Amino acid sequence: MDSIVRWAAENIAIDPRLLIFIISLFPILELRGGLIAAALLKVPMWQAIPICVLGNIIPIPFILLFIKQIFEWLKKIRPIRPLIERLERRAEKKSKKAESGEFLALVGFVGIPLPGTGAWTGALVASFLEMKLKKSVPAILLGIIIATVIMTLVSYIIPGFFFS
């Protein structure tokens, strides 16, 4: 990731803060990738955290409110249909695991930085579970806070103990 971030910073005329915001918007990378990139680009932690959190939060309402309609529309495009169906199966599988104790399951799912987890997938699961916004939004936000703490430790605090 280090080489990709440095290449983007050197070859694309973009402010590092805008770059980490954009990284935080994308699924898979999200806040986790944004904070790692911020540390690599030497963006101060106090600037990086709100930028990455905001970038991670912005897509969530759209996913919660419109993802099912978007998926139905995208499935009409033949080359994209298999990808959408795979995403739906994955979300349904994860949602079955989360049905009991769905609030805490969603918090943990969003908050613990493992591959395939995060706010995007959490919002997708909440949508497929048809969780009410009053329940899903706080769970996702709490998960983002937990992920922020963990990734700040991993990106900024712990490396400072070993490499300063």
Say if CB 159 and CB 122 are below 8 A apart. Answer: no
> Residues 30-58: pLDDT tens digits?
999 999 999 999 999 999 999 999 999 99
75 & 126 share domain = yes
Q: Are residues 72 and 132 in the same domain?
A: yes
Query: Do 84 and 100 fall into the same domain?
Result: yes
Closest Cα partner for 52 from 39, 66, 61?
Answer: 39
Same domain as 123, residue 106: yes
Q: Are 140 and 126 in contact (CB under 8 A)?
A: yes
d(CA 125, CA 164): 41
Q: Is the pTM of this model over 0.75?
A: yes
One domain, residues 126 and 158? no
Range of the domain at 67: 59-146
Largest CA distance in the chain: 54
* Per-residue model confidence as pLDDT tens digits over 77-130: 999 899 889 888 877 776 666 556 889 999 999 999 988 889 998 998 898 888
Question: Does 51 share its domain with 88?
Answer: no
Question: Same domain, yes or no, for 92 and 119?
Answer: yes
